[in-house]
Amino acid sequence: SAAEKGGFRSFMDKEIHDQPHAVADTLLGRTDTAGHLVLDEIRVDEAVLRRVDKIIVVACGTAAYAGQVAKYAIEHWCRIPVEVELAHEFRYRDPVVDARTLVVAVSQSGETMDTLMAVRHAREQGATVLAIVNTHGSTIPRESDAVLYTHAGPEVAVASTKAFLAQITAAYLLGLYLAQLRGTKYPDEIAEILDDLREIPDKIQAVLDAAGAIREVAVAMKDVPSVLFLGRHVGYPVAMEGALKLKEIAYIHAEGFAAGELKHGPIALIETDQPVFIIVPSPRGRDSLHAKVVSNIQEIRARGARTLVVAEEGDEDVLPFADQVFFVPRTASLLAPLLAVVPLQIFACELASAKGLDVDQPRNLAKSVTVE
């Protein structure tokens, strides 16, 4: 009903606007007064977690992209190798899993059959399974060794938005917890990242408050046949999630690519007026990734692409090559997905609405896929 949508046109629109709360609530109560991480709810023997020599994240759809973001953060903070695998592929390829493997199952519903089968398979092989799940009392946490709940609240729209941000947030907490336990980060460093995380909800709100420009662009683009998305490092899963949202609800062909792959194929797709979103890493980051992605924008613009750039506030280097820029507030490089994905969600939601589609109930899709 209209009341349930809280004045928004759709549940998806409402859930996009709930995201500051989804992140804040997922952080809430998980630090002590001194700002130290407290995750007693992870009821796995600390000795087992200290011995873990590999993490495999299993999930489907949007939850798998949250897992890809988790990989960058956990490897960087904990120095543990992290694989991310679609649950249905993991289950059927004879994966190397043993008692020193931590399998992290990410799922909004906690009922996705493919993810559940992966959980069962992992436990049969002796792995410890930790679930990151939004729905209390669902099957996946019941069958796992431990659960870290996301506190996004009920998600109604089929296409996941606020659960995605909450999954990424929970994965960061897990990474920081393992770093604390294994001593791969100093307590001060962990406290600093937690401070940055606590600033994220207000920064998401700032992105929402500035969404007028992306909405206008989305409406004007409602008849485009295809949109490409490029990102690098943690921007890569953001690009793939942006493309998935557009496919799911607007029925537009969309593909996400790693920006570094451009010259290995995707650049052949660039012709006049092809819209391309580019998720630009922070200019303050290391490894000159920023300059590399800016040069990608230049390359595709020179071939006629219409460039839609998501960049950090104050990044003037992108201006000469951008048809449109959507700025998001500054944050630590690894946390940037929590901000950069928001304009892409709004773009898909607004474009699908402009086409007159039911954004909450896209054709052929189910909120929770409980068959294999």
In the complex, the smallest distance separating the C-beta of residue 368 from ligand G6P, rounded to whole angstroms, is 5
Alpha-carbon distance 326 to 129, whole Å? 39
Looking at the Cβ atoms of 237 and 281, the one nearer to ligand G6P is: 237
Q: How many of the other CB atoms lie within 10 Å of CB of 366?
A: 11
Q: What are the phi and psi torsion angles at 37 (to 5°)?
A: -70, 130
In the complex, the smallest distance separating the C-beta of residue 158 from ligand G6P, rounded to whole angstroms, is 5
In the complex, the smallest distance separating the C-beta of residue 164 from ligand G6P, rounded to whole angstroms, is 8
Looking at the Cβ atoms of 60 and 73, the one nearer to ligand G6P is: 60
Alpha-carbon distance 176 to 185, whole Å? 8
Looking at the Cβ atoms of 59 and 276, the one nearer to ligand G6P is: 59
Give the residue ranges of DSSP H helices in the chain. 11-17, 19-27, 46-51, 62-78, 87-91, 113-124, 139-142, 162-182, 187-198, 200-209, 212-220, 235-250, 289-302, 337-354
Q: Would you say 293 and 232 are in contact if contact means Cβ atoms under 8 Å apart? A: yes
In the complex, the smallest distance separating the C-beta of residue 88 from ligand G6P, rounded to whole angstroms, is 11
Element (H, E) at 327: strand 324-328
Q: Would you say 104 and 67 are in contact if contact means Cβ atoms under 8 Å apart? A: yes
Looking at the Cβ atoms of 168 and 193, the one nearer to ligand G6P is: 168
Burial classification of residue 133, based on how many CB atoms lie within 10 Å of its CB (0-12 exposed, 13-18 middle, 19 or more buried)? buried
| Bridge partners, 130 (sequence order) | 104, 146
Active site residue 355: no
In the complex, the smallest distance separating the C-beta of residue 157 from ligand G6P, rounded to whole angstroms, is 8
Q: Would you say 280 and 310 are in contact if contact means Cβ atoms under 8 Å apart? A: yes
In the complex, the smallest distance separating the C-beta of residue 57 from ligand G6P, rounded to whole angstroms, is 12
Q: Report the residue number whose CB is nearest to ligand G6P.
A: 61
Looking at the Cβ atoms of 128 and 150, the one nearer to ligand G6P is: 150
Q: Which two tokens stand for residue 51?
A: 């011995």
Question: Applying CB under 6 A, which residues contact ligand G6P?
Answer: 60-63, 107-109, 112, 115, 158-160, 365, 367-369
Looking at the Cβ atoms of 20 and 67, the one nearer to ligand G6P is: 67
Which residue among 5, 222, 247, 367 is the active-site one? 367
Residue showing tokens 């474009």: 351
> Which residue numbers are catalytic?
367
